[in-house]
Amino acid sequence: MTEAEPPAEVRAAFTRFSGDRTTMSTDQFRLFLIEYQGQDEASAAEDADRIVKEALLQRKENDGPSPDDEGGICLDEFFRYLLSTDLNGPIHCKVHHDMNAPLSHYFIFTGHNSYLTGNQLSSDSSDAPIIRALQRGVRVIELDMWPNSAKDDILVLHGRTLTSPVTLIKCLKSIKLYAFVKSPYPVIITLEDHLTPELQAKVAEMVTETFGDLLYYPNGEGLVEFPSPESLKHRIIISTKPPKKYLETKGSKDKEIIAVLEKGSSVDDKERLLDTELDEKSDEGQDSDEARSSDQKRPEYKRLITIHAGKPKGSLTDALKVAEDMVKRLSLSEYELEKVAASNGTDVVRFTQKNILRIYPKGTRVTSSNYKPNIGWMHGAQMVAFNMQGYGKPLWMMQGMFRANGGCGYVKKPDFLMQEGPNKEVFDPKRTKEVKMNLKVKVFLGDGWSLDFSRTHFDIFSPPDFYTKLYIIGVPADAAKRKTRVIEDDCFPVWNEEYIFTITEPELALLRIEVREYDLYDTDDFGGQTCLPISELRPGIRAVPLYDRKGEKYPSVKLLMRFQFV
Distance CA 250, CA 253 (A): 5
Distance CA 51, CA 116 (A): 44
158 is catalytic: yes
Positive or negative torsion for Cα 416, 421, 424, 430: negative
In the chain, the amino acid numbered 336 is: E
Establish how many alpha carbons lie within 13 A of residue 206's alpha carbon, considering only the half-sphere containing its beta carbon: 20
Percent helix, percent strand, percent coil in the chain, to nearest 5: 35, 25, 40
Phi, psi of 545 (to 5 degrees): -70, 145
Edge-first strand listing for the sheet containing 305-310: 166-167, 154-156, 140-147, 187-193, 236-240, 305-310, 329-333, 356-360, 383-384, 106-108, 410-412
Distance CA 266, CA 171 (A): 40
Q: Is beta strand 383-384 parallel, antiparallel or unpaired with respect to 410-412?
A: unpaired
| 446 within 8 A of 466, measured Cβ to Cβ | yes
The active-site residue out of 105, 158, 194, 308 is 158
308 is catalytic: no
CA dist 404 → 96, 106, 109, 233 (Å): 9, 12, 11, 18
DSSP 531: E
> Which residues are 553's β-sheet partners?
547
The active-site residue out of 112, 194, 308, 379 is 112
| 106 within 8 A of 414, measured Cβ to Cβ | no
CA dist 355 → 150, 212, 236, 531 (Å): 38, 27, 19, 28
The set of catalytic residues is: 112, 158
